[in-house]
Chain A
């Protein structure tokens, strides 16, 4: 089964600074998608960014960008110019593009991000 590992249970950052959240995954597939979801205190799951494994270019969404290293099976999230509203639990997730696990999302255990004013 695919596993997703987030090795940082908690992280903190000063407002306006940059922080990077780590994620690694284990798979034998060559085609798949990776996602970062944000869960604020309201507990609603919000998609932050997605990355296709066959694309070498790292995805970017405004202040959020990823560093995708396919060979290393690493998918880190960088948040630039951190804002108080970025404080949340962040989940990394993997989704297979084929095979018996097609469509299923596998989540890491999450990283709790605190933003200090």
Chain B
């Protein structure tokens, strides 16, 4: 079955540490997205990528970095510059960014907490 796999399900970060959240999809989608979810805030866009080797900042990119070296993979690094990283992180993908009629498909999320 095609889908999006996020790992790990739970992640803990120490002060000053960078951590990387994995997102893999086998849907052959071009576009991929990272969202942050906080209680009462809905989903906010961190970064998105329309194609391999290209990505753009979303609304809350500070303290995060991404790469898109393969179509299937879009890892998110939460750097030590992100002072409030505790949140639920969701990865999504869609066929192409310009196929706006097509929905974004979501992974099961990663819960990140500070130790």
Contacts and interface: CB of A to CB of B under 8 A. Distances in A.
Interface of A: 1, 4, 9, 32-33, 35, 42-45, 47, 50, 52, 91, 95-97, 102-105, 107-110
B115 interface: no
B106 A95 contact: no
Contact of A43 (B48, B58, B88): B88
Interface string B75-104: 000000000000010101010111111011
The bracket for how many chain B residues form the interface is: 20 to 34
Contacts, number: 55
A107 B42 contact: yes
B41 A50 contact: no
Nearest to B50: A103
A87 B75 CA distance: 31
Contacts of A9: 40
B108 A50 contact: no
Contacts of A110: 40, 42
A102 B42 contact: no
List the 8 shortest-distance A-B pairs measured between CB atoms, nearest first: A103-B97, A45-B106, A109-B42, A107-B42, A107-B43, A47-B103, A95-B100, A97-B100
B101 A33 contact: yes
A32 B101 CA distance: 8
Contacts of B92: 45, 105
